[in-house]
Chains A and B, each alone.
Chain A
Amino acid sequence: MAFLLRRVGFYVAAFIVAATFNFLIPRLMPGSPVDIMFAQAGGTLPPEALAALKQTFGFIDQPWPVQFVAYLKSVFTWDLGLSVKFHPLTVNEVLWRALPWTLMLVLISSLIAFAIGSLAGILAAWRRGGSFDSIGAPIALMMQAMPPLVTSLLALFLFAIYWPVFPTGYAYDPEIDPGFSLEFFCSVFKHAFLPIVTMALAQVGGYLITMRNSMINLLGEDYIVLGTAKGLSDRRLRMAYAARNALLPTVTSFAMTLGASFGGALVTEVVFNYPGLGYTLFQGITARDYPLIQGQLLIMTLAMLTANFIADVLYVALDPRLRKG
């Protein structure tokens, strides 16, 4: 429990640092930050909305520390200001509308990659130097070097343009009413298929390598030799003895990779015109919608911290040593 509480304290600190970046970056830029931030906004927002926006970001007639407190107050009451591009929606509304799509892509693709990658890693390590290992490991390595940008473009071109099996955009067919119908789910599945596969491909190699290396290191331990000597079955030794312990480093890397795969989702969504956070953000960048760009950093940080916290909980469940004290 103490371990988890300490982690929560750390996550709050990390979140404040992310907010501090948001506060400092516009103020440290040469020129007047208010002008940079709101030059674009002035064109679309009415004057009173502009005044409210300045208030939210702490641009008040006070010294910096007071401004900072004002900004933190907005952040912790989850007031992220108004979007310039999607006026009259607030940043909050824009981001929450897009987030579920991104979460779906990230979670499903990560779980698929984790399951396939870890299993393949276990097999590769078990027969190290065997045919699966000497083919699988280099392929995994090559896949790691494939940027998500390239795999997405390739998948889009091959399976949506050259052989138009899958759609080139949107999260579901606009002619179908969203709701709990089979037709709608099929449409969502069809639209999400390519993004999920490309995102999973980008991660699977990493899990394979992490699991393989961690497993190989464990297979040399004395308790494995003892297990073999006791005559335990290969399967039991592999899964319950070696893989169970080798899984620990992968859980940490799962949390870390989740952050990277949020980044990967940004690119994949832009390529597939998929209406998640990445695509929304891309529209925000093109319109220089600064409140939106700042808001995404906070929401991405929050997602990352949540993923890390879940990994912590899993870690406690998997490693009994952490449960004491």
Chain B
Amino acid sequence: MRGLLKILLANRKAAIGAAIVAFFILVALAAPLVAPFDINQRVASPHEAPSAEHVMGATRMGRDVLSQTIHGTQTSLIVGFAAGLLVTILGTAIGVTAGYFGGKVDEVLNLFTNISLVIPNLPLMLVLAAFIGQTGPFVIALIIGLTSWGWGARVTRAQTLSLRQRDYILAAEMLGEPAWRIITFELLPNLISIIGFNFIGSVLYAVITEATLEFLGLGDPMVVSWGTMLYHAQSTSALQVGAWWEMAAPCLALVIFGSGLSLINFAVDEIANPRLRTLRVPAKVLAALTNRTTNQGGRA
């Protein structure tokens, strides 16, 4: 595990990405302390332009945009990580079960996975959110989690199928190890890079999807998040009246946080598949990597 961390930090992309994500997590944790203004108070004139006092300007209601963005980070990150976790747990559980047990179980689970992949996600979420009515952050996380596990399940299943044929799994079966033990102690540790990749990708997807759903008017407008900020800005025609700052702040937050996550994922991909690498890597790391891949029996 420590070796993995070392490899990640030696990769420049991963290090930058991790720093960005860590920064956002800190902001979310310390939101009430760092936000310069109360988000429920009118502290500026309507659509006040950015100034030294209000760095990101003010909304039509005279709320400080920077403070809203900082508080919104809390909601957006909680939804992102909660939904991402749910997607990863569902996808991994379904993928591993299908891949390990095979036969009828695999056929049924694989059919469900494939069906969930061809039914378009956003339209399905719109139906769910519309019927639930006022959807708070947690309901949105749940909706995203329940509809978006298909991709992760497919990738995990494919990798499980290939691992399943390895000698060490067969050996464990010969020894009469119970299935749950083989799965948790033999399979899952070797799936860790795929699970991590799936988790980070899902968090990114969830943050963007939450913002999209809320922008389309399916969120709870009383909650402050990046999505509801965009929704309010859109419904007060902020861009049309020239108050671009009302949209710029949440958009920037979305893009920077998203870039951080995809930098990490890109690095994970490079580390798991050394052929994809562009940057020159220190010899030591390369040695660690080659050891790791040969230990795992090379390329599938």
Report chain B residues within 8 Å CB of A137: 278
Chief secondary structure at chain B's binding surface: helix
Query: Which residues of the partner chain A approach B261 to less than 8 Å between Cβ atoms?
Result: 145
Closest-CB distance, B82 to chain A (whole angstroms): 19
For A286, give its contact among B111, B217, B263 (CB under 8 Å). B217
Instruction: Work out how many contacts link A and B, with CB atoms closer than 8 A.
Output: 146
The segment out of B92-100, B126-134, B171-179 that lies at the interface is B126-134
Q: Which of A54-62, A70-78, A193-201, A291-299 lines the interface with chain B?
A: A291-299
A168 touching B119 by the CB < 8 A rule? no
Q: A168-B240, A282-B217 are in contact. Are A145 and B258 (CB under 8 A)?
A: yes
Q: Which residues of A contact B131 (CB under 8 A)?
A: 25-26, 29, 36, 290
- Chain A 260-283: CB-based contact to B (< 8 A → 1; otherwise 0): 101100110011000000000110
Of residues 154 to 208 in B, which have CB atoms within 8 Å of A's CB atoms?
204, 208
Q: In whole angstroms, what is the CA distance A10 to B240 when docked?
A: 47
Q: Is the CB of B118 within 8 A of A147?
A: no
Report which of A14, A133, A141 forms a contact with B118, defined as CB distance below 8 A. A14
Partner of A149, one of B13, B211, B275: B211
- B254 on the A face (CB < 8 A): yes
Closest to B13 in A: A138
A145, B265: Cα distance in complex, Å = 11
A14-B119, A21-B124, A26-B131 known; A142 vs B259 contact (CB < 8 Å): yes
Q: Measured between C-beta atoms, what is the minimum distance from A294 to chain B in Å?
A: 6
> Measured between alpha carbons, how far is A150 from B131 in the docked complex, in Å?
27
Instruction: Given A10-B114, A288-B130, A294-B127, answer yes or no on A17-B119 (Cβ-Cβ < 8 Å).
Output: yes
CA distance A286 to B234 in the complex (A): 13
Docked-complex contact B263 and A141, CB < 8 angstroms: yes
- B48 CB, nearest partner CB in chain A, Å: 18
Kindly state whether residue B247 has any CB partner on chain A within 8 Å: yes
The distance from the CB of B151 to the nearest CB of chain A, in whole angstroms, is 8
Q: Which residues of A contact B118 (CB under 8 A)?
A: 11, 14, 259, 301, 304-305, 308
Is B286 on the interface with A (CB-CB < 8 A)? no
Q: Are B122 and A147 in contact (CB under 8 A)?
A: no
- Assess whether B239 is interfacial by the CB under 8 Å rule: yes
A161 interfacial by beta-carbon distance below 8 Å: yes
Are B218 and A285 neighbours in the complex by a CB distance under 8 Å? yes
Assess whether A263 is in contact with B122, with CB atoms less than 8 Å apart.
Answer: yes
Q: How far is the CA of A13 from the CA of B123 in the complex (A)?
A: 18
CB distance from B85 to the nearest CB of A (A): 20
B10 close to A (CB within 8 Å):
no
The answer to whether B215 touches A300, judged by C-beta atoms less than 8 angstroms apart, is no
A26 to B258, CA, bound (A): 34
A300 to B111, CA, bound (A): 20
What residues on A are CB-neighbors of B247 within 8 Å?
153, 157
CA of A149 to CA of B266, assembled, Å:
22
Is A217 among interface residues, defined by CB-CB distance under 8 A? yes
Q: A13-B115, A216-B275 are in contact. Are A161 and B127 (CB under 8 A)?
A: no
Q: Does A134 contact B (CB under 8 A)?
A: yes
Q: Are A296 and B123 in contact (CB under 8 A)?
A: yes
Q: Closest Cβ of chain A: how far from B254's Cβ, in Å?
A: 6
A129 at the interface (CB under 8 A from B): yes
Contact A161 B262 (CB under 8 A): no
Chain A residues contacting B263 (CB-CB under 8 Å) are: 141
Q: CB within 8 Å of B: which residues of A?
A: 10-11, 13-14, 17-18, 21-22, 25-26, 29, 36, 128-129, 133-134, 137-138, 141-142, 144-147, 149-150, 153-154, 156-157, 161, 168, 212-213, 216-217, 220, 256, 259-260, 262-263, 266-267, 270-271, 281-282, 285-286, 288, 290, 293-294, 296-297, 300-301, 303-305, 308
Beyond A18-B124, A161-B240, 14 additional pairs, beta carbon < 8 A: A13-B115, A14-B114, A21-B127, A137-B278, A145-B204, A150-B254, A153-B230, A153-B251, A213-B273, A263-B123, A266-B123, A293-B130, A304-B118, A308-B118
Cross-chain pairs A/B with CB under 8 angstroms, 15 sampled: A145-B261, A146-B255, A149-B211, A161-B239, A161-B242, A212-B276, A213-B276, A266-B123, A267-B212, A282-B216, A285-B126, A285-B217, A290-B131, A296-B123, A301-B123
